[in-house]
Structure 1
């Protein structure tokens, strides 16, 4: 699994829980600390990601880390008991987590987070509207993706895996189905056999098996909150069948992380009633570019499509 980190949150299918949205009761940090602006929250999340990177965490510790990233602005002001309650773990688990990160205990971790405040805050000229805050948060999510792409290795490796798999199954259920469909639509213009898997049910495993029998070597999955149980089951089935699973997810702590061979994280926006997924979409397009780079005949296929489209008069521009 990749060592990169992202953020995520979820309520109803694709929806942000009310307490996680700006301006709602229960969203503010403890100890009277004022809530950070969208840029400050995203910067705090990025700082936590850097803190966790390189540490081998247990499933329980990943759950704590995921909770901390989601509540990045609050964490420096939460007690170990409060953090344990938010993460749904025991208080001793929080202490062991802090020790695993190299601190003497949770108080030392909290001091560290308080002493190195994240950059960011409200811009000069007045407070932003909630809609502007949502857009600014998405811009920060895109900046995080740009930062991760400074190391192009994971995306280039993923591109080679996808280019070398024929057929190429692309999985995305519920909130992630739009991401999977968009990727599959464009990928089909350069890849000889792309198979979209955007419906669950008992046929899903059959379609994965069929792709494997036809020669597939890898499967691409888009996974966004809330994460359907079917997705993790499908990924386990794909790996047991011998497929390499590449996943674009909202967080390296997402439930799909331990079911993936290569995970590329891109945070979702949580400032509106329903999560926004600009960063996962952008990462998907970058992954398409990497796949095209690894396909020797990608340019020829694109030119062939353009010629056919012109003959059929498909487009008006």
Structure 2
């Protein structure tokens, strides 16, 4: 680490911590001012990030320090020594916060590729999803776009896909309706921050006899206890809001596995393409 840049050292300090959007703004401000970070007062950092001074204190505590003074001492101790040469410091490229977020997502995808070296869980999930008629797909808040994206493509090959992307008192009713219509499995996308409604909905789904397949950010996510088959795909935490490239790609892999379990999938796709061409849906 002696040759790494101050920005890279700061980014490493933040990795692995679940920070709120406000705390991430503070982190980004420190990365942007990496050279000055060890010398900023809490008031100066608060003004730089556009947050309150107590937010800076909570940020330091979230990183495991007793308070901001302890964090600043740590940063000062981490400043490259005066004896380090410019050539030594230049050994590692200096990436800005946006590039670091992309590189972190690339690492998440590498981890997912390693996980998929054993295709068994995804293939099993594909069979479960293909065999459920209808197929409820659950995703609330941050995970709603994952559920809708999966549902959009799944509907092209699966005869009855029901996307559950809204919470409220009707959620359990919609799960029960799917079960009564013949559903045997439920697919859930669960991403941080994890809504209590999702945990409750999965517990209810299992009580009603549905097999729960879950895509979550971690095998230790709160939904794990209510999932029959959980496949993890990490989210990126380097920007103010999580990025979910790995969960999205895992969703597409599940779609592929589900298609393998649907003998009529190819015929349905060809029918859709023919209908789309006849209607002039696309400009290609």
The TM-score with structure 2 as length reference comes to: 0.72
- 1:214 — aligned with what? 181
Separation in 2, partners of 1:252, 1:17: 25
Residue pair 1:8, 1:268 contacting (<8 A) in 2 also: no
Separation in 1, partners of 2:207, 2:25: 38
Separation in 1, partners of 2:91, 2:114: 25
Unaligned runs of 5+ in 2: 1-15, 32-61, 67-88
- 2:225 — aligned with what? 258
SS of the equivalent of 1:256 reads helix
- 1:299 — aligned with what? 266
1:9 corresponds, among 11, 18, 21, to: 18
Q: Deviations over 1:93-118 (max 9, x none)?
A: xxxxxxxxxxxxxxxxxxxxxxxxxx
- 1:201 — aligned with what? 168
Q: 1:222 to 1:145 in 2, by over 3 A?
A: same
- In the TM superposition, structure 1's runs of 4+ consecutive aligned residues that sit over 6 Å from their partners are none
SS of the equivalent of 1:165 reads coil
1:18 positional shift: 2.8
User: RCO (CA 8 Å, sep 6+): is it higher in 1 or 2?
Assistant: 1
> How is 1:62-141 mapped onto 2 (pairs within 5 angstroms)?
124=91, 126-141=93-108
The Cα RMSD (Å) is 2.6
Q: Which has the larger radius of gyration?
A: 2
1:158 corresponds, among 116, 125, 129, to: 125
Separation in 1, partners of 2:122, 2:253: 8
Residue pair 2:25, 2:240 contacting (<8 A) in 1 also: no
- 1:286 — aligned with what? 253
Separation in 2, partners of 1:206, 1:277: 29
1:127 positional shift: 1.1
Separation in 2, partners of 1:20, 1:265: 28
Q: 1:20 to 1:161 in 2, by over 3 A?
A: farther
